[in-house]
Structure formats: structure tokens, C-alpha cells
Amino acid sequence: MAGLSFIERARQRAVFVYRQFELSCAPPAVEP
């Protein structure tokens, strides 16, 4: 099913962009 493949690909791209943003802009989550 091409639809599922498209959704899965879009989800992976969104997660990748989110992680990049989190690593570059968000403060470290090591604070107590």
C-alpha cells in the first residue's frame, strides 16, 4: 500500500526534523 508507505516516510521525516531541532535549540534535559 503506497498510502502507508507515504505516511511512514512522512512520520520518519517529522521525527528527524524534531530531533534536529531538539538537539540544536532545546536546552539539555539533564536538569533536576
pLDDT at 30: 65
CA–CA separation, 22 and 1 (whole Å): 32
Render each residue's pLDDT in the chain as its tens digit; 32 residues.
Answer: 667 899 999 999 999 988 888 777 666 666 56
Grid cell at residue 2: 503506497
Question: How many CA atoms lie less than 13 Å away from 25 in the CB half-sphere?
Answer: 6
pLDDT at 4: 84
pLDDT at 14: 92
CA–CA separation, 7 and 24 (whole Å): 26
User: Amino acid identity of 32?
Assistant: P
Provide the whole-model pTM: 0.53
Grid cell at residue 25: 535549540
